[in-house]
Amino acid sequence: MAITPGMAAGGKAAPSSQAMTKEERKVIFASSLGTVFEWYDFYLYGALAAIIGKQFFLGDPTTSFIFALLTFAAGFIVRPFGALVFGRLGDMIGRKYTFLVTILIMGASTFLVGLLPGYATIGIAAPILLVTLRVLQGLALGGEYGGAATYVAEHAPEGKRGFFTAWIQCTATLGLFLSLLVILGTRTAIGEAEFVAWGWRVPFLVSVILLGVSVWIRLAMAESPAFVKMKSEGKTSKAPLSEAFLNWNNAKIALLALFGLTMGQAVVWYTGQFYALFFLTQTLKIDGPTANILIAIALVLGTPFFLVFGILSDKIGRKWIILGGMVIAAATYFPIFKAITHYGNPALAQAIETSPVVVVADPASCNFQVDPSGTRKFPASCDIATRMLTNASVNYTTVDAPAGSVAQIKVGDKVIQSFNANMTADGIDFDADSKARNTALTKEVTASLKAAGYPEKADPNTINKPMLVLLLFILMIYVTMVYGPIAAMLVEMFPTRIRYTSMSLPYHIGNGWFGGLLPTISFALVAANGNIYYGLWYPIIIALISFAIGALFVRETKNNNIYAND
């Protein structure tokens, strides 16, 4: 076997203080550029969730948005299964060809989303096909990250794995940045109305060009030297799944990687990028182009810190950088997001403080109003009141009222009486009288909110963009702390023969389930509770649990020899 710059004659990584070689740069470029395009594809749906919700789902804005997020989450839910399928292939037949297949599946699925007719054209088939494509994307991405991280780490010299693998984390964020640029460019070129009508498809269709470039680059890549050496010695695993997860010594490490590292890393990542974007657009009502630009600037400023913390992890260790990011994020999310409200929509912040909205209702009449069909009505007076406020993204609290009482909405000193609606004979809609009363109540609530200073949208002239960029940049620093060193640490936790499988599953359960479900869970919590910050409890609790487990049970890996157990 040819000895690479990072390999000693015995097949082990050799200490290296030399500058990065041409071959090493090629490995990082090929893996990272492919990852940019993979994440570009996957991020598109997240950034366009609100528009896609209206195109493919029925129901009021809150319900359609939550179900758009659920479809977004579907791609994350299946990621661990993709990790199992492609991780097994990667450990049996090689790293290169496995993650070449993943990018083909990912790119084709994304392109087809751009061609998919909406609900108005093909009915219920539209959301079904959309979910199917999202599932295929998720399966592909489940096999992508572990392959790229393993491939780069197995080429990296001793003492530089944090730095080398940090390029993958860096370019994952650049994938989001690229998707935002394409979205912004399309919006600017054709206008918002046309973008909502059909222009949202353009970024998905453009991905076919990126796919072609990615495939061309990955075809030129050589197999990982560690895998080639292992295969030549006949040491490849015949059953990587059972060896990784049915052998307790390996399985317990995978569990610690999940609950002590990737679970907390994931919620910090998705809070700092996806949830922040949704909060700006859905809660603060900042227009899409402005929100995208703010996020993009924060990404540009924050991205180099993936490399900073990757390099730092090579010097002082990975564990406490990752855990430190979790605990600092958990401690500061509430003040940061309240500051984002203050600087992003100061009129809303002022109204919340001076004219708080309170719903006084019988708790038994208040339901969690998410309907998969988009047709069910909730006739109780509390449901009618809270639905109006949630659809308007109004922060409110609830106060218990006596059983059987009709709900009231208090906007500052103004008291508005809700009503219990009557249903039609088939039980699926309000009758004519209730519809008229609902329209009148909506007008009265809207007028009261306006009089109390609640804005329908954020005023562009009052947005403090420098402060918002600063706050979003701080969130990005947390992301870089937890994400920059994570690939190197996961690679170092497992032996070569089952590394692709072993590291992929905890990574994708953490990021696919705990992270990918974050926007859906957090916005559902807000819809159920009324407090616009209530959704932050989810990432805070998950991050603190992960911090505690990681601090107590996860060992530092910086000095591990990744060939020692083969």
Mean pLDDT by 10 residues, the chain (566 residues): 36 49 72 72 75 76 69 78 78 70 84 88 86 86 77 82 87 78 89 90 89 79 61 60 73 92 95 89 89 88 94 96 98 97 95 92 80 65 88 87 92 91 80 91 92 91 96 97 93 82 84 83 83 94 97 92 62
The predicted model scores a pTM of 0.82
Given its phi and psi angles, is residue 452 left (phi above 0), alpha (psi -120 to 50 degrees) or beta?
alpha
The full set of domain ranges for the chain reads: 22-345+460-553, 350-451
Burial string for 32-54 (b: 16+ CB within 10 Å, else e) reads bbbbbbbbbbbbbbbbbbbbbbb
In this prediction, residue 371 carries a pLDDT of 55
Q: What pLDDT score was predicted for residue 436?
A: 93
In CATH, 350-451 is 3.30.70: no
pLDDT of residue 163: 92
Amino acid at residue number 397: T
DSSP state of 417: E
- The 10 Å Cβ neighbour count of residue 457 is 12
* Number of separate helices (H) and strands (E) present in the chain: 26, 4
Q: Is 22-345+460-553's fold the same as 350-451's?
A: no
Cβ–Cβ under 8 Å, residues 128 and 165: no
pLDDT attached to residue 2: 34
Q: How far apart are the first and last CA of the chain?
A: 16
What local confidence, expressed as pLDDT, does residue 4 receive? 37
Token pair 């994938």 is found at 175
Q: What is the CA radius of gyration of the chain?
A: 25
Burial label, 561 (beta-carbon count in 10 A; 0-12, 13-18, 19+): exposed
Q: What count of Cα atoms within 13 Å lies in the side-chain half-sphere of residue 441? A: 26
Q: What is the CATH code for 22-345+460-553?
A: 1.20.1250.20
